[in-house]
């Protein structure tokens, strides 16, 4: 059984705003860590995470996903034009929508058109005030569907999606990184959270386990034109052994094996995740 090697923390950022503590790793290639947002940004993030419009089941998963810390480390400001790629059930959309609405920003949620954004549309229907500035677009782009204009976004975010693109082959993942690069303004930020496959495990596992190697994600981003800006261990989980019978879906919240060894997997918690930040050159 291959166990994940202990991660070395290069820096611990001080507490900001409403008790937000950030843990940042040393970036590679000489990229420098940045000062995390303070003051109004951290207060607005705390308010968005605490928004009464959030689904209680989603709130219960904050301890695994660290949304305030993650968004602060990516440097997402409430006034930013933000694009969220493939929102799934809308877990992050529930936070980003009120955050943008309160700060004068704009959130565009994108997915396979049109059904890939339906979960977020339902959240909007239930809480229209919280989603006051939301827009929807197709990703990948589709004829006749709304599209994110090139060079329009301050921040593009994608959470646990790269492995889905990898299942379709390297070309699908690369095309999506290229499209995210096109969306961003010069100097804009791409934030990626993904299930982490240790570098010493077989690369073939990327095609079936739901885990991705950091080196693979960075390679896709670089090939699209991004500079690597840093990494954080905010979402690391040293209990994750990355070698389950049904891949990452063995762990919560999916519990693919249902009641088989459920207590063991519950004790591990949600997956070990890399949190990577990239910049579009100016």
182-231 residue pLDDT tens: 999 999 999 999 999 999 999 999 999 999 999 999 999 999 999 999 99
More confident site: 42 or 263:
263
pLDDT of res. 17:
36
Q: Which two tokens stand for residue 135?
A: 């827009």
For residues 280 and 229, what is the distance between their CA atoms, to the nearest angstrom? Answer: 10
Average pLDDT, the chain: 88
Using the predicted structure, report yes or no on whether residue 234 has a pLDDT greater than 90: yes
Tens digit of pLDDT for each residue in 86-128?
A: 999 999 999 999 999 999 999 999 999 999 999 999 999 999 9
Which H or E run includes 274? strand 273-279
Question: Which of 10-14, 56-60, 72-76, 271-275 has the weakest average pLDDT?
Answer: 10-14
CATH assignment of the domain containing 254: 3.40.50.150
Enclosing domain of residue 28? 11-279
Distances (CA, A) of 143 to 112, 113, 156, 178, 180: 12, 10, 22, 18, 18
Q: Does residue 5 belong to any structural domain of this protein?
A: no
DSSP string, 12-64: EPPPBTTTB--EEEPPSTTPPP-PPP-HHHHHHHHHHHT-TTS-HHHHTTHHH
Question: 139-178 burial string, b = 16+ CB within 10 Å, else e?
Answer: beeeeeeebbeeebbbbbbbbbbbbebbeeeeeebbbbbe
Number of folded domains that form the chain? 1
Say if 266 falls within a structural domain: yes
Is 3 among the domain residues?
A: no
pLDDT computed for residue 39 by the predictor:
62
Contacts of 185 (CB under 8 A, 6+ apart): 151, 152, 153, 154, 280
Q: Cα 75 to the chain's mean position, in Å? A: 13
The pLDDT of residue 270 is 98
Say if 1 falls within a structural domain: no
Q: Is residue 102 assigned to a domain?
A: yes
Note whether residue 117 is domain-resident. Answer: yes
CA quadruple 41, 47, 53, 54: dihedral sign: positive
Q: For 104, how many CA atoms within 13 A lie in the half-sphere containing its CB? A: 3
- HEC per residue, 83-142: EEECCCCCCCHHHHHHHHHHHCCEEEEEECCCHHHHHHHHHHHHCCCCCCCEEEEECCCC
Q: What are residue 66's phi and psi, to 5 degrees? A: 45, 60
More confident residue, 242 or 5: 242
| Tens of pLDDT, residues 11-42 | 333 333 333 333 344 343 334 344 444 567 88
Q: Looking at residue 170, what is its pLDDT?
A: 75
Distance CA 26, CA 35 (A): 13
- Judged against a pLDDT cut of 50, whether residue 241 lies above it is answered with yes
pLDDT for 255 equals 97
């Amino acid at each position: 059984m291959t166990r994940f090697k202990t991660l070395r923390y290069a820096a611990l950022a001080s507490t900001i705003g409403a008790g937000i503590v950030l843990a940042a790793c040393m970036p590679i290639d000489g990229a420098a860590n940045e000062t995390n947002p303070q003051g109004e940004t951290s207060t607005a993030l705390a308010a968005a995470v605490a928004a009464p419009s959030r689904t209680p089941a989603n709130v219960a998963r904050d301890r695994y996903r660290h949304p305030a810390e993650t968004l602060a480390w990516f440097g997402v400001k409430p006034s930013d034009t933000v694009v969220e790629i493939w929102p799934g059930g809308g877990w992050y959309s529930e936070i980003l929508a009120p955050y943008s609405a309160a700060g004068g920003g704009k959130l565009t949620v994108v997915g396979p058109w049109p059904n890939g954004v339906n979960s977020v549309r339902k959240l909007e229907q239930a809480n229209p005030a919280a989603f006051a500035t939301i827009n929807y677009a197709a990703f990948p782009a589709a004829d006749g569907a709304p599209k994110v204009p090139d060079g329009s976004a301050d921040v593009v975010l994608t959470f646990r999606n790269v492995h889905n693109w990898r299942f379709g082959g390297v070309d699908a993942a690369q095309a999506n990184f290229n499209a995210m690069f096109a969306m961003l303004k010069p100097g804009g930020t791409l934030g990626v959270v993904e299930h982490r496959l240790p570098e010493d495990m077989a690369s073939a596992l990327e095609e079936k386990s739901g885990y991705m190697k950091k080196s693979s994600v960075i390679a896709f981003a670089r090939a699209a034109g991004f500079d690597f800006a840093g990494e954080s261990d905010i979402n690391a989980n040293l209990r994750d052994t990355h070698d389950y019978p049904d891949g990452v879906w063995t762990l919560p919240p999916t519990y693919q094996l249902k009641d088989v060894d459920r207590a063991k997997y519950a004790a591990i918690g949600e997956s070990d995740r890399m949190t990577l930040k990239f910049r579009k050159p100016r």
